[in-house]
Chains A and B, each alone.
Chain A
């Protein structure tokens, strides 16, 4: 289903009148019209792989850069020299001096009627956290390898991070093909390794491309050197990535950001629709109280809307007050978030300071902020082997599996079901620092209404009980889980198995 913007007819009419334009204005309008969408691209790889050159090349060949930017680079190159396109994605002075990229940089360019946002992140192991935070904003990732070296352990680690933060599309740019004599055999071998690495993750698209960033082969223009390659260029692949604001799928969610008031008794709930669709007449439910109300108006400064979809920032006026404010998550009747008493999560440790169980930690969800009653670090994830090692130490750049218990129930979804209401950050209560980013992999709690009275068995619950010591997802794990559900059923408790281990 396509995302839609519905408006009252009177506005459409007014606009139609306003749109009458002369031929000259029409020509200008072509330059000025809105682009068709936005795609965020994460680039990861190390400096040695030529990442800055690849991104610079994409900008140099495909984007309409200001002339002075081009002229500067040409001037710097000197007579007869090739412009160093990598300078286009250059950053802070400190980094320039160090010769490496240590932070995320954002670049914007327009090509083929779309906005592309390049999120450039460092690839080195000690910057896992920078990459994870950059990746959390991206729709597609470009992983870069040197054709001479092929897929490395680092590539595997990158894929794991991308998967963790929810990226669904990945591109492997096999760079420096000129240095392996444009060899098809070499490329096919790397491509096969890449497929083997990505197969275990939840990517819906994983494509390898042979490129040479320095000369621009297969970046924005087709390579003449690699006539054996019949696939798309990098720019072609990027052009096929769907923009944000297109997919209206999923259950309706709107975390309430703030309450706005107007004349007389107007009380509106302001928020961004993070998933699904809401329309005038929709019955919405506050997941914390289970109270429901009907949407009376969808208010914006440009006039009321009939409906709104994921990505839109709106104000909802309900037919009666159900006493909700910031922190509440509004949902449709048929599918509610869980009011979590505890949750299993995967954390990327972002802070420079290692985890300290004695520090006060707050859980910041979409719009709620709750103290944590406890955090239990269960295991550390080795990103190269995906093996878990038990341990309670958690240091910068670690990916850990943890059990969190909020001081009061908090509305959450599983990350795989709902990205915005299934992710959170941990905040140091004292300094305010962001300690970790996290995704919800399992929830223990009550889902009101639709799931009232149902007991939810998550992998975490099972792993602590009858499935302790059994690999999550193994046949034995599933057998025992089913057994627990049957026993509960026999005892009159409706149980639902929930978790990736099913």
Chain B
């Protein structure tokens, strides 16, 4: 459904091409958005500001154009997101005239749960998993769009497009509904809610390809720039503010770095890179040697970490 799919020959006859793989993925995602919006009583789009959320939001807009998406955005703010992310979030939402709900786990903040002194898994549980459950319960959302992809991690590879959560947001792999053909069954049992994954069949490369094709803006952190960094446990961390004290022997060094994935800054590793345009960064990512979750420190805890997190209700 892109201009690039058509060219006009000299004679003026319209030359056409078949749908590309991105056209097919786009149409499938739009279909999912429409099915969920029609079937759930009170849907919400979980917006986490990163590249996947950017694509997700763009597809949501396409799905209901010329109408605005008929649901608000929800950002679970841990208070440790990069400042650039928050700036980007507020600008994007204002530009598109969308409703944004920001939720922070106030209890977690009161208890001083941070990613510097607490184990990443505990911090993530309190400030992300619990916070998300709180927000969904508080507003009574019954269907939450998320940007998860099946190619991200082994346990995600079996995830459904409509993923059901028992009361308490628990994910039970044996309770998931089979999905056949293009049919999506969103009828909820008592106390059930659903997560909806319109990007299920996208790969990381597709997300980048699509961002380029659609000329979407992304958080500048995805592009290389001189940033204050510290090398800790073999990972490059960017010091986004002064809340994380340096350990003995550590020192802040300005390096040219960028991110492949974005999260809470003390838990997100940067890579050294000189790719300072989107095209260069994407080209680098596409030919890169590693999978993207390398940059996420919470996933390295232990084998099957993501699966356990999911059962506990992590997005």
Contacts and interface: CB of A to CB of B under 8 A. Distances in A.
Contacts of A272: 27, 30-31, 182
Contacts of A7: 3, 5-6
Interface residues of A, number: 96
Contact of B18 (A37, A115, A257): A37
A300 B62 contact: yes
Nearest to B14: A6
Contact of B20 (A36, A66, A94, A132): A36
A19 B4 contact: yes
Contacts of B67: 260-262
Contact of B178 (A11, A14, A133, A419): A133
A34 interface: yes
Given A137-B181, A245-B24, A5 B17 contact: yes
A137 B282 CA distance: 30
A301 B26 CA distance: 12
A92 B173 contact: yes
Interface stretch (B184-192, B224-232, B245-253): B184-192
A434 B185 contact: yes
B104 interface: no
A389 B2 CA distance: 52
B201 A37 contact: no
Given A130-B178, A434-B178, A67 B289 contact: yes
B213 A132 contact: no
B291 interface: yes
Chain A interface main SS type: mixed
Given A129-B178, A305-B1, A427-B185, A37 B30 contact: no
A268 B283 CA distance: 39
A433 B2 CA distance: 38
Interface in B154-201: 154-155, 157-158, 173, 177-183, 185, 187-189, 192, 200-201
B3 A14 contact: yes
Nearest to A135: B180
A165 interface: yes
Given A35-B20, A311-B24, A326-B38, A260 B66 contact: yes
Contact of B2 (A28, A263, A302): A302
Given A312-B1, A427-B185, A434-B185, A67 B290 contact: yes
B178 A302 contact: no
A93 B307 CA distance: 8
Interface string A196-223: 0000000000000000000000000000
Contact of A92 (B18, B150, B158): B158
Given A5-B5, A258-B38, A262-B66, A34 B185 contact: no
A37 B154 CA distance: 24
Contacts of B6: 5-7, 11-12
27 contacts: A3-B18, A3-B19, A5-B23, A16-B7, A19-B4, A28-B279, A34-B4, A35-B22, A37-B24, A90-B154, A91-B157, A105-B157, A108-B203, A115-B21, A260-B67, A261-B67, A301-B62, A302-B1, A309-B19, A312-B27, A313-B27, A313-B34, A364-B185, A419-B181, A420-B181, A420-B182, A437-B181
Interface of A: 2-7, 9, 11-12, 14-16, 19, 25, 28, 31-38, 66-69, 90-94, 103-108, 110, 114-115, 117, 129-130, 132-133, 136-137, 165, 243-246, 257-258, 260-263, 266, 268, 270-272, 274, 299-303, 305, 309, 311-313, 315, 326, 350, 362, 364-367, 369, 419-420, 423-425, 427, 430-434, 437
